Amino acid sequence: MDKGSRNVEILKQNQYSPLKVEEQIAIIYLGTKGLLTDLPINKVKGFEKEFLTQLTSRHPEILEEFKAGKLNNESLEVVETLSKELVEKLK
């Protein structure tokens, strides 16, 4: 049930400012893989913002791959590692 609540949180977007498709792919991937399980529900939106900021600044090439529809194991491992780092920091 908590996983579903977290997934609902990651799907919420501000009116008139939707996430880019590649950002949505990265966030939804984390939710479907259960990588946010240790994160309190009330911290999901803050995590999402920090995660996307870090991913954009440290690994912009991954977002470009996602935008092009390419999901490879290397990129997904980077996304997972970054997610785990941030979850540990925020929980």
In this predicted structure, the answer to whether residue 5 has a pLDDT above a threshold of 80 is no
Instruction: Tell me what the pLDDT averaged over the chain comes to.
Output: 90
What are the pLDDT digits (tens) for 59-82? Answer: 999 999 999 999 999 999 999 999
Contact by Cβ (8 Å): 9, 44: yes
In this predicted structure, the answer to whether residue 16 has a pLDDT above a threshold of 60 is yes
3, two tokens: 């996983």
Sequence ranges of the domains in the chain: 2-90
2-90 folds as Lysin (1.20.150)
pLDDT band at residue 3 using 50, 70 and 90 as cut-offs: low
58: Cβ–Cβ under 8 A, 6 or more apart, which residues?
82
pTM metric for this prediction: 0.86
Q: What is the DSSP string of 18-77?
A: PPPHHHHHHHHHHHHTTTTTTS-GGGHHHHHHHHHHHHHHH-HHHHHHHHTT---HHHHH
